[in-house]
Structure 1
Amino acid sequence: MNLQDALFNWLQIKLVAEGREEDGAARDTLAFFEEILRDDHKLNSFLVDRADETMYHVRYELDGKSKIQMFDRELADQLLSDINSNPKYNE
């Protein structure tokens, strides 16, 4: 998995974990993607630096350099929206 995909997957599941605090599977999946970012991609840190109406700005540190990757907000929010709209996951 390339870095951009790993960051996007991390962002999506981070939004789910924050939006569904009782969801243990989301927390476990978030930890899995954090491990991928640290171990496979050697990121020292990563966080959602800011969000505006259209984008999420993810700041990360690689090789001592701070970088920003931007992701479409609608696409990133889609997983949480899909989970919340499915009655199977909301019982």
Structure 2
Amino acid sequence: MKSLQDAFYNWLSIKVVSDARPNDKAAKETLEHFELVLKEDHKIEEVVRLEYNEDLYFVYYLLNGEEKSMRFPKDLIDFMLNAIEREPDKYPIIEE
């Protein structure tokens, strides 16, 4: 994944799904994959915190010892979870 913004977009999208579906093995494994992408490809030391309001998600992270942030439109990040919730039969939970 070339762009740090794309990597965080993918990570945050699946994190929202994984948090909403804590028993979903596939979501957990996908989240772990994107965590590795952030650490190995982009050298992110830590995601410090997540915040959100009605319109935006804010991701605060450490890179080279410095806290930085990105923001993402809430409707884009929540798209995958909303699709799953609209049609749960298409997205069964695969438990460990």
Is the TM value for this pair above 0.5? yes
**What pairs up with 1:71-86 in 2 under 5 angstroms?**
71-86=72-87
User: Larger RCO: Structure 1 or Structure 2 (Cα < 8 Å, ≥ 6 residues apart)?
Assistant: 2
Contact 1:44 1:60 in 2 (8 A): yes
Unaligned runs of 5+ in 1: none
Q: Aligned pair count?
A: 91
TM-score w.r.t. length of structure 2: 0.88
**What pairs up with 1:7-46 in 2 under 5 angstroms?**
7-46=8-47
Q: Which moved more, 1:79-88 or 1:61-70?
A: 79-88
Superposed CA RMSD:
1.3
Tell me which residue corresponds to 2:53. 52
TM-score w.r.t. length of structure 1: 0.93
Aligned structure 1 segments of 4 or more residues deviating by more than 6 angstroms: none
Q: Distance in 2 between matches of 1:70 and 1:76?
A: 10
Unaligned runs of 5+ in 2: none
Displacement after TM superposition at 1:59 (Å): 0.5
